[in-house]
Amino acid sequence: MTTLKMQRLLNLGAKAISLAPLQQPSTWLCGRANIRKASTYKAAVLREFGQDLQIEDIKRKKLQGNQVRVGVHSCGVNSSDILMIENKYDKKFNPPFVPGFEVCGEVLEMGKDVTTMAVGSKVIGIIKEGLGGYAEECIVSEQDLWTVDHAVSFDSGAALVDTYATALIGLNRRAAVNEESTVLVTAAAGGLGLAAVDLATSV
């Protein structure tokens, strides 16, 4: 399914854009020696509300035990991102910061406590704290990452995050849905509603 068809199906208010790495894949993909030695990465930084994003070198942070470093291939452009950049979002972020929280990419490195991921896995993730998706790489909590089949394109993966990840968190972590649960989804014609119905019927 193409990214365009996926977006129409889910009625997304956001679109997935490709953040092609500034280097060739052979120089940065998981497991490469120079990745472990790299001290910085490129990111689109917001310095002032309402202004253009600036491409800058960002210093790499050390991973905590449950964190995963993801090489970003695609990141969603959500209406929330626009509101954050314009300082109109409910949750405030003070510049400078790197927008973007719906990513699809590959696992580059894992914290010592990570058990469900593997270096090289294709993943989708939602960055709930700190943002940082508009970059060559970002850090995501293990619990907010899901592996996807390598046949899924990076753009399609990024388009899935806002709807399917949100629905999965609600059904799994909040509602603890199981095979015997009855699920009522209101407004099921929207992107999130369609995702919730799809996941609920697949339990």
pLDDT at 164: 86
pLDDT band at residue 37 under the 50/70/90 scheme: low
Give pLDDT tens digits for 39-63.
999 999 999 998 999 999 999 999 9
Give pLDDT tens digits for 180-203.
889 898 888 888 889 889 888 887
pLDDT at 5: 33
Measured CA to CA, the distance from residue 154 to residue 75 in angstroms comes to 9
15 class by beta-carbon count within 10 Å (0-12 exposed, 13-18 middle, 19+ buried): middle
197 contacts 188 by C-beta, under 8 angstroms: yes
Give pLDDT tens digits for 128-149.
777 999 999 999 999 999 999 9
Look up the pTM and report it.
Answer: 0.75
Architecture of domain 3-160: Alpha-Beta Complex (3.90)
pLDDT band at residue 163 under the 50/70/90 scheme: confident
Q: Is the pLDDT of residue 99 over 70?
A: yes
Measured CA to CA, the distance from residue 84 to residue 23 in angstroms comes to 28
pLDDT at 88: 94
pLDDT at 126: 93
Q: Is the pLDDT of residue 69 over 70?
A: yes
β strands within 100-163, DSSP E: 102-110, 122-126, 137-141, 145-147
> Could you tell me how many residues make up the chain?
203
What 8-state DSSP symbol labels residue 94?
A: P
